[in-house]
Structure 1
Amino acid sequence: MSREVVQAKTSALALAEYKMDGGQVLTADTVRNYLTSGNSKATDQDVLMFIELCKAQKLNPFVRDAYLVKFGSQPAQIIVGKDVFIKRASENPNFNGMKAGIVILDKSGQIQEREGALKLPGEELVGGWCEVYLKDKDYPTKALVSFEEYAQKKNDGTLNSMWSSKGATMIRKVAQSQALREAFPNELRGLYQQEEMGRTEKLPEKEVKVGYATAGQKQGIMKLASMKGLYDYEKPKDISKMEEFCDSNGYNLKELKYEEVDEILDLLSKYEPKDINNIVIDTDFVEVEIQEGQVTLEEIN
Structure 2
Amino acid sequence: MNKTMNTGNGVVTAGSKKGWLTQEEIEVVKKQFFPPNAKPEEMNYCFEVAKQFNLNPITKQIYFVPRKSQDDNGMWHEKIEPLVGRDGFLAIAHRSGKFGGIESTSTLKEVPKLIDGEWKMTTDLVAIAKVWRTDSQMPFVVEVFYSEYVQRKKSGEPTRFWAEKPHTMLKKVAESQALRKAFNISGLYSPEEVGVGISDTGDVIIDTETVEAQVDVEAENQKLIQQEIDALAQLGLNCEYKDGFVKVVGSTYGKTNQLRSLGYSYHTNKKIWIKKLSA
- Give the TM-score normalised by structure 1: 0.49
Give 1:58's aligned residue.
Answer: 54
Instruction: State the 1:76 CA deviation.
Output: 2.3
Residue aligning to 1:199 = 196
> Is 2:82 the partner of 1:78?
yes
Q: Call closer, same or farther: CA 1:60–1:101 in 2, change over 3 Å.
A: same
For residue 174 of structure 1, give the secondary structure of its aligned residue in structure 2: helix
Q: Which residue of 2 aligns with 1:290?
A: none
How far off is 1:165 after superposition?
A: 1.8
Q: Which residue of 1 aligns with 2:135?
A: 136
Which residue of structure 1 lines up, in the alignment, with residue 63 of structure 2?
Answer: 67
Larger deviation: 23-32 or 92-101?
Answer: 23-32
Alpha-carbon distance in 1 for matches of 2:21, 2:125:
46
Which string of whole-angstrom CA distances, capped at 9 and with x for unpartnered residues, describes residues 151-190 of structure 1?
11112111012101211111111010001011112xx443
Partner SS for 1:159: coil
| Aligned equivalent of 1:233 | none
8 A Cα contact 1:151 1:163, kept in partner: yes
Counterpart of 2:97 in structure 1 is 93
1:4-19 matches, within 5 Å, as 19=17
Compare the two structures and name the one with the higher strand fraction. 2
SS in structure 1 at match of 2:180: helix
Query: How far apart, in 2, do the equivalents of 1:66 and 1:51 lie?
Result: 10
Over 3 Å counting, the alpha-carbon distance change for 1:98 and 1:23 in structure 2 is closer
Determine if contact 1:102/1:125 at 8 Å carries over to the other structure. Answer: no
1:98–1:131 CA contact under 8 A, matched in 2:
yes
8 Å CA contact 1:129–1:145 kept in 2: the answer is: yes
Distance across 2 between alignment mates of 1:90 and 1:27: 24
Matches of 1:98 and 1:137, distance apart in 2: 14
In the alignment, the residues of structure 1 paired with residue 134 and residue 40 of structure 2 have an alpha-carbon distance, to the nearest angstrom, of 42
Q: Which runs of 5+ in 1 are unaligned?
A: 1-17, 112-122, 207-301
Q: 1:176 corresponds to which residue?
A: 175
1:199–1:95 Cα change, 3 Å: same
- TM-score where L is the length of structure 2: 0.52
Distance (Å, rounded) in 1 between the aligned partners of 2:24 and 2:46:
10
Aligned residues: 170
Aligned amino acid, residue 139 of structure 1: M
> What fraction of aligned residue pairs are identical, expressed as a percent?
27
Using the alignment, how far apart are the partners of 1:85 and 1:66 within structure 2?
9
Instruction: Please state whether the residue corresponding to 1:177 is helix, strand or coil.
Output: helix
Gaps of 5+ in 2: 1-15, 69-76, 112-121, 204-279
- Output the CA distance in 1 between the equivalents of 2:200 and 2:41: 22
In the alignment, structure 1 residue 190 sits paired with structure 2 residue 179: no
Distance in structure 1 (CA, Å) of the matches to 2:152 and 2:88:
26
